[in-house]
Amino acid sequence: MIGVLLTTQNDWRKPRGLNATLGFPPKSEHKRYVASILEVLADDSLLLQTLIEIRHLPIVARGSDAWDLIVLISALLPMLQAHLLLVFQRTGAVDHTHIALAAIQALGNDEMPTALAQRLDYQIDIFWLTSFKIRRPRRPNCLKRLMRGWPEHNATGAAPRTLFIVGDAMQSIYGFRYADVALFLNARQGYFGGIQLEP
């Protein structure tokens, strides 16, 4: 399936790239369905990175020792994660990755935003994002979820909700502190999270 979703250059496949060679006859219902999925996924840089990493995993045969180890670890990891969270609570420690993922989960997805996301949507009018070049993949996802109702609000003629972005693409190209130059360049093209930007 990764070979369908991604190109050989590790980019999201464009819907028009779904052809008969990949098993999608022209005008087929299956092709329309997968094309609609690709359109939804096109802005998800975190999922893209995850699929690229999965693509490079070694192939493991069922029944081999390596396969048995993977099955064992897969069963063990959720228990270890739960135990780690208990240790964090007991010691007052913080896991920033867990907090970021919990924040994204707390906001819900686009189809089912949570009550928290809806409450914040009414309370936040301005985001000021500095060091735009220094952004981990989860941060854009969280920000886009917080801003998901903004395009509709701004279209009503009410006082617009505003996103200020400050960044330096020249520093992004060096990958400093997980910088992703694509985030900067996409924003320079004029849109971020459905908001039209003015350079």
**One-letter identity of residue 13:** R
Task: Give residue 80's pLDDT.
Answer: 93
Q: Are residues 192 and 100 in the same domain?
A: yes
State the pTM of this model: 0.50
pLDDT for res 100: 79
Domain identity same for 35 and 117: no
Total structural domains within the chain: 2
**Which phi and psi angles does 79 have, rounded to 5°?**
-70, -40
Comparing C-alpha atoms, which of 107, 129, 127, 104 is closest to residue 119? 107
> What is the per-residue pLDDT for 90?
93
- Across the chain, which distance is largest between two alpha carbons, in Å? 63
Its domain, for residue 156, covers: 96-196
Same domain (yes/no): 131, 50: no
For the chain (199 residues), the mean pLDDT of every run of 10, in chain order, is 85 85 84 84 84 87 89 93 90 83 82 84 83 58 81 84 76 58 70 71
Predicted local distance difference test score (pLDDT) of residue 76: 95
What pLDDT shows up at residue 73? 93
- Please answer whether residues 104 and 142 qualify as being in contact, where contact means their C-beta atoms are separated by less than 8 angstroms: yes
What is the C-alpha separation between 32 and 38, in angstroms, rounded? 10
Pairing of strands 126-129, 191-192: unpaired
Q: Based on the fold, state whether residues 101 and 42 are members of the same structural domain.
A: no
Spatial distance between the Cα atoms of 127 and 71, rounded to a whole number of angstroms: 44
Considering the domain architecture, whether residues 108 and 186 belong to the same structural domain is answered as yes
Would 60 be classed as within a structural domain?
Answer: no
Chain-centre distance for alpha carbon 54:
16
| pLDDT value of residue 74 | 92
Give dist(CA 82, CA 118) in Å, integer: 29
Based on the domain organization, do 35 and 113 belong to the same domain?
Answer: no
- 117 and 171 both lie in a single domain: yes
Is 91 among the domain residues?
Answer: no
Kindly report the CATH number assigned to the domain that includes residue 143: 3.40.50.300
Q: Are residues 190 and 101 part of one domain?
A: yes
